[in-house]
Structure 1
Amino acid sequence: MVDDGDIRIGDAEREDALAALAEHHAAGRLDANEYEDRRGRANDAVVRRELTALFVDLPEPHPTLRPGRATSLTRPPSPGRPPHQGARGKVSRVLVSLAPFIALAAFLRTESWLVFLLIPAIVAIARAIDD
């Protein structure tokens, strides 16, 4: 009999895992290097066991792997949005991930701490793109 951890995963499961990792990164649970490492391993994952290994030290959201079912995040989907947002969702996740670096670059250029207000502005723009 095949162990549930040996069941192959698809693109939807990888995208769910990547979305959860992005949330942990945004919450400050993963630094940039660890986030990039786990993102790479999630993209390369072939079986469920490889995805679950990425979340053993993290609280929810994380992929819930049920026997005989596709993976899904344990958090409920946002109201009015499909579970997979496609290209627009990816663009907004990239914008949110890059916001601190954009603000830091602007700070180094202008030497004004006010540029750090760009971070919430970029997040608001990214959410507007999703809507």
Structure 2
Amino acid sequence: MADVGAHERELAMEALDAHRRAGRLEREEHASRCAAASRAASRSQLDALFRDLPEPHPAYPSGAPTAPAPTPTGPPAAPDLPELVAPTGAAVARHAGMISMLTPVAAALLFAASGGRFPWVFLLVPIVIAAVAFVSHRHQQ
């Protein structure tokens, strides 16, 4: 029974997101499986979430997670950039509705806190919503 970390759980949730977008999982089933993935402590618990689903399944990193040994020529190589960027896009995509809903509230609070001197703060509402939609759309492709 291999222990899993946050990275493996995130990979599983991204695969579940793909099944939701493909229409294989309803909203409630998707939410339930994502919650189970976030609590999973072993690879077998994550694999059980995909037994009744076709590909894609999570592409776990091969081997046990170990710290790379320093090479005589310098420090260890940096991880690939897409692995660092993907979780942020996934988080924005998952919370796009909440971000879009809270943006006008934040703009109104900033406007009130400024004593009404900065009405241009409301221009941030469509800009933020457009940025969230862009990031969410790019993550879903």
Report the TM-score range of the alignment, normalised by the length of the smaller protein.
Answer: 0.5 to 0.7
Deviation track 1:22-74 (CA, whole Å, cap 9, x = no partner) reads 1101111000111011011000000010000000111111124587346xxxx
Query: Which has the greater radius of gyration?
Result: 2
CA distance in 1 between counterparts of 2:3 and 2:45 reads 10
Structure 1: which 5+ residue stretches go unaligned?
A: 1-5, 71-79, 103-121
CA distance in 1 between counterparts of 2:94 and 2:31 reads 13
Secondary structure of the equivalent of 2:55? Answer: coil
Q: What residue is the counterpart of 2:82 in the other structure?
A: 82
Q: 1:20 aligns with which of 8, 15, 22?
A: 15
Cα deviation, residue 92, structure 1: 2.1
Q: 2:40 aligns with which of 28, 38, 45?
A: 45
Q: Which amino acid aligns with 1:15?
A: E
CA distance in 2 between counterparts of 1:8 and 1:123 reads 35
Q: Which amino acid aligns with 1:126?
A: S
TM-score normalised by the chain length of structure 1:
0.57
- Runs of 4 or more off by more than 4 Å in structure 1? 64-67, 122-125
CA distance in 2 between counterparts of 1:59 and 1:129 reads 21
TM-score normalised by the chain length of structure 2:
0.53
Secondary structure of the equivalent of 2:91? Answer: helix
Structure 2: which 5+ residue stretches go unaligned?
A: 66-79, 102-131
What pairs up with 1:1-131 in 2 under 5 angstroms?
Answer: 6-64=1-59, 68-69=63-64, 82-85=82-85, 86-95=87-96, 124=134, 126-127=136-137
User: Percent of aligned pairs with the same residue?
Assistant: 35
| Matched pairs, number | 92
Q: What residue is the counterpart of 1:106 in the other structure?
A: none
RMSD: 3.2
Say if 2:89 and 2:135, in contact at 8 Å, map to a contact too. Answer: no
